[in-house]
Amino acid sequence: MSPNNTIGWRMDNSYVTLPEIFYARTEPARSPSPELIVLNYPLAASLGLDTDELERKEGIDELAGNRLPEGAEPISQAYAGHQFGHFTMLGDGRAVLLGEQITPDGKRLDIQLKGSGRTPFSRGGDGRAALGPMLREFIISEAIHALGIPTTRSLAVVTTGEPVYREETLEGAILTRVAASHLRVGTFQYAAARNVVEDLRALADYAIERHYPEVKGASHSYVALFEKVVERQALLIAQWQLVGFIHGVMNTDNMTISGETIDYGPCAFMDMYDPATVFSSIDRQGRYAYGNQPGIGEWNLARLAEAMLPLFDADNERAIKIAEDKLSAYRELYHKHWLQGMRHKLGLFAEEEQDGELVEELLTIMQNQGADYTNTFRALTVDEWSGVPMSETNVFKKWFGKWEARRARQSETKEESAKLMRASNPAVIPRNHRVEEALEAAVDRGDFTVMDQLMNALAEPYAHTKEQLEYMAPSSSNVPYRTYCGT
């Protein structure tokens, strides 16, 4: 780090060592009068950055793309993707990867500006973003992180000082996103579509070096790489399901090789338990409904396997057999992670054969009774049933007796069981109406106190504090909630 780098950047860009077909050199567009709106102080500190310096003009200029951090080599990445099942060649249309920050503990993390102007992959778009969607990604991604789920994170949001034009004129903004990397299933599909095996091999070698160096010594390292991605995605999607998170747009370009949640567009959290729940305005067929997410994860991994076939074996039939064999592990891995998570949500330690039936019976009752997903598990955790009408039904009381009997058969005490449940069942999630309330106050009135208070409540979702009580109630509105791809 040179003496004049007072902010703390230690930037590199290993991605530019890949063949040039994977990226385009791209300078962020200038922002006429950037203003810092929100800064993630704990994340900045973990990156080795001085928050006082980030809040000064030089730091804000770097977060706005007006000035490049020392060592940055800005690029936009090329990738492809199946969008709602249809294959398309894509790329970063409004994002610029500045490079990778080397953190004090030696990690290499992508620093990306989202909404920083046109790129060679913009396909006619303006490359800009509006304030509301950038704040929404900040809120939801940090909430997901607090829930203990792997995710890209949000370092800052700045306004640009110029409008963006959508259905209406909106205030422009840039989000600084931090990620283990931005390698996607769609990146491999892009390489495969170009049909140059050497490029595909270079990408796979880079993914191994970046995320799975432990497989470098394996006899079939590319097969081992695919197995690792299958494992990570099975765990990730199980974690989504356990907290009622609906991603909303699980296209293959929104599925990371690292196993992080990425691209918070039309995502939302489920209130009433219903596997058919869809929030995205563009998902008219329910392809990415809550209950479909595990299957879509498998479908996306099949597309990754197709892209990697030339690396599995020179003989296509043998390569397909390898792919099918390794992909077949996904369902069992997913179910294992999901069921173990459900056991923890019910305070169960050891495994019993009938545990799956016990869980499914509860979920069926919840669906039939229109019960709130998060609040039902919270009620079980703290044994507080006011506001949970389902608890008065005979069918639930019968199930409750089975659950009590199941807990009584384990050697752990009720106190130990309750502790496990508290650590597994969040008291609060980013309720859709609360998120909209915070965004409306910030965007329409310039009042960020509502968002600050929400973020404070979401920062420790498993704390079960009195201060969180007001954020637990679902919306009283009967109007179906809809989300849009504003990000």
**Residue 137: predicted pLDDT:** 97
Last residue of a domain, one of 124, 158, 179: 179
Task: Give yes or no: residues 402 and 444 share one domain.
Answer: no
Last residue of a domain, one of 179, 196, 231: 179
Angstrom distance (rounded) from CA 223 to CA 313: 9
Q: Is residue 4 part of a domain?
A: no
Distances (CA, A) of 375 to 216, 289, 388, 468: 45, 21, 8, 12
Task: Give yes or no: residues 436 and 423 share one domain.
Answer: no
Task: Give yes or no: residues 305 and 318 share one domain.
Answer: yes
Q: Is residue 409 part of a domain?
A: yes
Measured over the CA atoms of residue 341, residue 347, residue 350 and residue 352, the dihedral's sign is negative
Q: Is residue 194 part of a domain?
A: no
Task: Give yes or no: residues 40 and 58 share one domain.
Answer: yes
Q: 95 and 114 in contact (C-beta within 8 Å)? A: yes
Task: Give yes or no: residues 478 and 467 share one domain.
Answer: no
**Residue 80: predicted pLDDT:** 97
Task: Give yes or no: residues 340 and 454 share one domain.
Answer: no
Q: Is residue 121 part of a domain?
A: yes
Annotated active-site residue 50? The verdict is no
Measured over the CA atoms of residue 260, residue 266, residue 272 and residue 276, the dihedral's sign is negative
Q: Is residue 186 part of a domain?
A: no
Q: What is the count of structural domains for the chain? A: 3
Q: Is residue 201 part of a domain?
A: no
Q: 55 and 36 in contact (C-beta within 8 Å)? A: yes
**Residue 5: predicted pLDDT:** 77
Task: Give yes or no: residues 421 and 338 share one domain.
Answer: yes
> Which residue range(s) make up the domain with 95?
11-179
Task: Give yes or no: residues 296 and 154 share one domain.
Answer: no
Indicate left, alpha or beta for 4 from its phi (over 0: left) and psi (-120 to 50: alpha): alpha
Helix (H) or strand (E) holding 444: helix 432-445
Task: Give yes or no: residues 309 and 367 share one domain.
Answer: yes
Last residue of a domain, one of 128, 148, 179: 179
Q: Is residue 203 part of a domain?
A: no
Task: Give yes or no: residues 415 and 452 share one domain.
Answer: no
Phi and psi at residue 98, to the nearest 5°? -75, -30
**Residue 486: predicted pLDDT:** 57
Q: Is residue 3 part of a domain?
A: no
**Residue 475: predicted pLDDT:** 87
Task: Give yes or no: residues 315 and 404 share one domain.
Answer: yes
Ranges in the chain, pLDDT < 70:
1-4, 485-487
Q: 231 and 333 in contact (C-beta within 8 Å)? A: yes
Residues in the chain: 487
Catalytic-role residue among 92, 110, 199, 253:
253
Task: Give yes or no: residues 139 and 254 share one domain.
Answer: no
Instruction: Please write the tens of the pLDDT for every residue from 427-480.
Output: 999 999 999 999 999 999 999 999 999 999 999 999 999 999 999 999 887 777
Q: What angle (nearest 5°) sits at the alpha carbon of residue 448, between those of residues 447 and 449? A: 95
